[in-house]
Amino acid sequence: MELETEVPDLYLEDTIATFVVSKEMKCLWAIQLDLLAKIDSICRKYNIRYSIDSGTLIGAKRHGGFIPWDDDIDVVMPRKDYEKFKKVVVDEISGYYYFQTSDNSPGYYRSFGRLLNMGTVAALKSDMRNGKMLWKYRQCVFVDILVLDNIPDNEEERRNHFFTLQRLHRQYWTTRELVKYAANWRIVEKTVGGLYKIFAGGFLLLLSKCGLNLLHRRFKAFEKQLQKYSDLNTKEGAPYTNRPYEIIELGEFDNLEDVSFEYLHVKAFKNFDFILSKQYGNWRKHVIGNKPAMFYDLKDFSK
């Protein structure tokens, strides 16, 4: 496993407060930090606005880096900056880096991109069953690059926009889950017994092929609605989840600062307290107990 970012001495041996961070987790962090450093470098070179987001922003302000029990990094950009990033990233990465989108990875139906380290194996546990990955696209250690899409300033138009988005997202996500299990019936068959093999196998294989076409159409309809206001100069934006408390004024991206995140310096909202309080309430309070959401294999790196 190779990284371009130099990992400080003893970083992989560290513990944080009373929470023991395993060496394997620190190895995962080091790979993600290398990806974040690459994103930061590209954004600075091309004047692309971004901020670390969600739990990553909390970690930076509360811990100076990762929340000790967290296992991912989130970055957010306005739509126009994201589209610019998509155009330039291809010329700025090589080797084990790969920028994944729904356009270049069949089966990856998400409305945002990921920068991957291709020398690793990683998957969301929700996309696995019986120890097997349920999707065939490249699944590696990643950093999510979320997109803040423009939303209407008019309150009634905004409600209609969100209502339509929620309906389309529900349709596409339900289809995605059905296709996921239908296409992988051999993996899930152990949970339903022998008759499944006889009566359901062929049907589910046919359903998966038909379902992929339906999934593609529903995903494109969702994306079209998501980007409906991208060409307008609206005041606020929202990520793909479209939860009202995640609405952010787009002007916040003109008010960024450099912050420490582990051994990196990255961009973050100056108005972080207002944004995080709106999203999480008392974000300074430690809430321990979340299990890691990812499966990962880092043997080549952690030897």
The pLDDT of 192-218, averaged and rounded, is: 60
Specify the range with the lowest mean pLDDT, choosing from 6-10, 84-88, 273-277. 6-10
Q: Are 257 and 270 in contact (CB under 8 A)?
A: yes
Nearest C-alpha neighbor of 185 from the set 147, 130, 139? 130
- Reduced to 3 states (helix: H, G, I; strand: E, B; else coil), residue 297 is strand
d(CA 136, CA 291): 25
Specify the range with the lowest mean pLDDT, choosing from 11-20, 145-154, 224-233, 251-260. 11-20
The pLDDT of 159-184, averaged and rounded, is: 83
Burial of 189 (0-12, 13-18, 19+ CB in 10 A): middle
pLDDT tens figures, 28-47: 999 999 999 999 999 999 99
Specify the range with the lowest mean pLDDT, choosing from 85-89, 214-218, 287-291. 287-291
Nearest C-alpha neighbor of 240 from the set 95, 98, 111, 87? 111
Q: What pLDDT shows up at residue 5? A: 82
Q: What pLDDT shows up at residue 88? A: 97
- For residue 244, CA distances in Å to 35, 161, 271 come to 29, 12, 18
- For residue 106, CA distances in Å to 7, 63, 138, 194 come to 34, 37, 9, 31
Inform me whether the pLDDT recorded for 262 exceeds 60.
Answer: yes
Q: What pLDDT shows up at residue 243? A: 63
d(CA 260, CA 69): 18
- In this structure, the chain runs to a length of 303
DSSP β-bridge partners for residue 145: 75, 113
